[in-house]
Amino acid sequence: SDQLALLGGANGSLFGMLGTAQIAALRAAALAGMGTAQVVQMSTAQASALSSAQLGSLATDVIAALGTADLVALKTAAIAGLTTQQMVALSSGQLRTLTSAQFAALSSKQMGALSSDAIGYLPAANMAALSPAAIAALSTAVVALLTTDQLSSLSSRQFAALTTDQIGAVASANFGCLGTTQLSALTTTQLTAVTPGDLAEVFVYDWHHGAALSTTIFAALSSAQLGGITLGMGFSNITTAQIAALRTAALTALDWWRLSVLTTAQAGALSATQVSSLSTEQIFWFTTNDIPFLKTSAIAALTTQQIATLSSAQVRALTTAQIAALGSRQFGALSSDGLAGLDTGDLGALNPGAIGVLGTAGFANLTTAQLSGLGTSQIAALTTAQLNALSSAQIHSLNAAQVGALSSQQVGSLSTTEIAGLDPATLSSLRTAAIAALGSDQLAALGQVQLLTTAQIAALRSAALAGLTTAETA
């Protein structure tokens, strides 16, 4: 090394005269004594001849004195020989001159030695060239200062290599600038370090990138993280696949107003399990635009408490298929306000068993228009208590087919006021068995025996006929 040093100083120009073969032949120990004066005279050809061992033997001040052209000329194999002390000695300007290929040769240990100031000046292309292991070696202080260009240049493998501490060091504003490549690579382990603020930036700053988050990630979201996504109009930017992947625990923790901004497509993506897990307050705030798009399986899964919350406007928004999906207990849980939302087509779609469990108070509140929508099988399923709860006006609204569906037990239970309320035009539709069940007071209340058919007259009991006056039989 002493002899090599003589080639510097006053005779410094002699070092520059060494050929590449001579440079390559120098022992690393000899090069260790090399000074900055000699480095200044080094040609790019000489620099390219250095091995990793030779480069690693140079003093830190010598490394710091390397010109940009010489740095670029270094072989990638030689770059791998730089020590951590030498890496620290490199200026940000020197680091910027390294090629992507040279950066790709850096180890995780070498990258871990770089300061945040040095990293901050790296071109995005150089960041993209680093190995996943090298990325994972960056300190959190360095990661915190990465620019949006540097972060968005990371490949999916590089981004997936970031530790939870590193993910936690990324500023929320920078997190919002991540592209689809990075977001699609986010792991559930990394997700534990992602804040609600980070996710809010993703769905607000550049919301269409949020679609890149996997359904696996959405299935792992905490209620707080989902709350971050749904700030403002963020909820409307979630894809249907992501909606379907949400855990019920995350959904049920949302404020009611967040669900009020659901799109119709998102509403249609909700599963039966998700819908049935929602609170009554959340159900109450479902818009009438969204309700028709809920799956019939989701409607069938609604609890009686949720059903009781539905307003008349919400019930009115249900499709015929959704109404038909309601079970007996669900229909029976409808409030008087909810029942008011049923139209004639809705009632006709209900299974007879559902009609049969409707409370007398609820049934009595049905309008004549609603009653006209009941089918014959539904009429036949009515209890005597339900029929007895109807007013004479409601009884009068029953059409011939509905009257013809009444059983003998149902007709026999009607009060004289209700019997009198039957539309005369429908009397001939009464079954003979129903006629036979009439008592004398009911027959008298009918008032228009002459409208009965001969078959119906023949079915009348003599006891019932005995109570009729001459005027009634005329």
Q: State pLDDT tens for residues 264-321.
A: 999 999 999 999 999 999 999 899 999 999 999 999 999 999 999 999 999 999 998 9
- Quick one: pLDDT at residue 203? 84
Report residues of the chain scoring pLDDT below 50: 1, 9-12
Amino acid found at 173: A
- Quick one: pLDDT at residue 10? 41
Q: Which of 418, 446, 421, 374 is nearest to 467 (CA)?
A: 446
- Percent helix, percent strand, percent coil in the chain, to nearest 5: 65, 0, 35
**232 backbone φψ class: left, alpha, beta (φ>0; ψ -120 to 50):** left
- Quick one: pLDDT at residue 29? 82
- Quick one: pLDDT at residue 151? 93
CB < 8 Å & 24+ apart, contacts of 203-208: 203/229, 203/231, 203/234, 203/237, 203/238, 204/176, 204/231, 204/232, 204/234, 205/173, 205/176, 205/177, 206/176, 206/177, 207/234, 207/237, 208/237
- Quick one: pLDDT at residue 15? 67
Total-model pTM: 0.74
**pLDDT, tens digit, 9 for 90 and up, residues 145-178:** 888 999 999 999 999 999 999 999 999 989 988 9
In angstroms, the CA 448 to CA 420 distance is 9
- Quick one: pLDDT at residue 11? 46
